[in-house]
A = this chain, B = another copy of it.
């Protein structure tokens, strides 16, 4: 069994590197090159590929173009991925307009907020009342939501998302949401990441000889 979270994360990284190589005019690539770029061992690159039946040619490496196409297929990003942003505070609004999404074929189709003052159905990316969420999710067949509400509302809104039929949540609220059989959750806790950074820093300073994680 290969499709662990770690493998998926690496496949996505390989793909991103490959796209950069392609834009530089590369036609073929060796496991060695990808390993260096992503920071893993060449053996792991080949192993990851073999799990998904991605093959190369001995001595000739892998075809960049073909590899990208097949990775896109495996990763299911052949087509545009549609998401909604729930909570249009500062973080939410920034995410709605985040430029990095377009390049990855991710499109934010709507934002939602409880505050009537924020609602604006005619904006380029409409902001709608949160009560309309279940209806929109159903009619637009949205499967993934970005959750950017305050901590106090997070658990409750998350439940609402799940019962509306959302299958994946990228959670920016500073609370550890747990996945279930009904929903996959990815938590991004910014303050926690910073805390960890300070902490890793301290350990790095105390034990300068050890290698970096």
Contact = CB atoms under 8 A, between A and B. Distances in A.
Interface stretch (A109-117, A118-126, A167-175): A167-175
Contacts of A99: 150
B91 A176 contact: no
Nearest to A74: B199
Contacts of A103: 174, 191
A39 to B, nearest CB: 6
Nearest to A203: B3
A141 interface: no
A181 B207 CA distance: 11
Given A38-B176, A168-B197, 15 more contacts: A3-B207, A8-B196, A39-B176, A101-B191, A143-B201, A144-B194, A144-B201, A168-B200, A168-B201, A169-B197, A170-B190, A170-B194, A180-B212, A184-B200, A186-B197
Interface of A: 1, 3-5, 8-9, 11-13, 16, 38-39, 75-77, 81, 83, 90-91, 93-95, 97-101, 103-104, 106, 143-144, 146, 150-151, 167-170, 174, 176, 178-181, 184, 186, 188-205, 207-208, 210, 212-213
